[in-house]
Amino acid sequence: MINVLAPVEVGLKLKRFRPILYRRIENVMYATFWDVIILNKKDDFDKVKDFSNLGTIFINVGSERVQGAFNVHSDEAIKALELMEKVVKERQSINKIKRAKELMLEPIMVDRKMAEAYRRLSFNSLSRISIVVAEDGLLEEWIVWPLLQNAEIMDFSISSEEEMMLRLFGSKNHPSLLSRDGVILLMNCDSCSEHAISKMARSSAQGFFSPYLSDLRENCLARVIFHFKDERKIPPFLKQLVGVAISRIPSLHEISESLPMILRVFVTMLAQETKRVNFEISYDLEERIKRSKWNENWKDFLNFCKSFLAGEEKVHTDIDSLKSLPKLKDYLKNVHAEAEKELIKRAIKIYGLNKSKLSKVLGVNPKTLTKKLNLYGLEK
């Protein structure tokens, strides 16, 4: 769908495009980003012409000619919008294929259990309402995008509940997300009130809703997915509503046996972008990968892959896991480097990348600290 702003006078003709209608354009012009603004007065164009910097297209259907807009009859405006809609859909389709390839969903599907979980999520997204249970890092945007196509991702841990509800249900001056065709993924519903979940679930299940401060009924075209980190936090009424449409994404710890193979696939794909490649995966490293807890799941694992590719992940400090003993000098050097890296990472978690603070806490001068950050890939 394209976002269209149009005057009340021509609104009925453009009904199929679900435009936001205005009597005074200044009351709604900042409500959202507009793909197309339809005008019938030159004065209105003067108020919104700066939107052209954001790629907005202007169509003038009024009798007075407007420079900087497409001057057409209202019937021709419909044909122009139909053409635009087709172009936008084709562009989204191309971008989806390109992005899916770039963002590397394929390595994840190496594990049968993980592949089945994500396929189930993709299938459940066809339902009006569904649930996904997943820990942190398992529903990254680069995973969600190819699975759910053009999904709208909203996070309750970032925005307030009131702000999220306003975006979902809309009001007089705010277009509603529920009225658009597509998937809405509501992240971290563990922190959302049962009242809000009930209202969203009821609207999705029944197929209609009322915008804020309005008695009007609008069709609910969106399909809604509720994400919970902890399955125990899912309200019983929501489980009853979704029925069998529940997806559970296993953590990386649960698929530990497949991780060395996934690492190989990831590194092979990442290696296409760099000339410096490290493919030597030792038995010790494999065991380390399997035993790790991967608290941030894919986020954590992908960072490890990048470190391995750069040649930074080679030696494990647990002597019992080593097949053959290294030279003491080499071993101590690697143990020192690994411990130093972990100490700097811990300091960054506490103080952020405030170099003056970090150098004071760690007892090194800023120049040395900068060298260490570059060496261990922590400067970002």
Sign of CA dihedral 44, 48, 49, 54: negative
Total residue count of the chain as it appears in this document: 380
pLDDT of residue 315: 45
Report the pLDDT value the prediction gives residue 304, as an integer from 0 to 100: 86
Q: Using 70 as the pLDDT threshold, list the residues of the chain that sit under it.
A: 1, 92-104, 271-280, 311-336, 380
Q: Where are the alpha helices (DSSP H) in 33-73?
A: 42-48
**How many other β-carbons are positioned within 10 Å of the β-carbon of residue 109?**
14
What is the pLDDT, as a whole number, of residue 10? 83
Question: What token pair was written down for 51?
Answer: 């939107």
Instruction: State the pLDDT at residue 373.
Output: 85
Cβ-proximal residues to 167 (8 Å cutoff; 6+ apart), any chain: 154, 174, 177
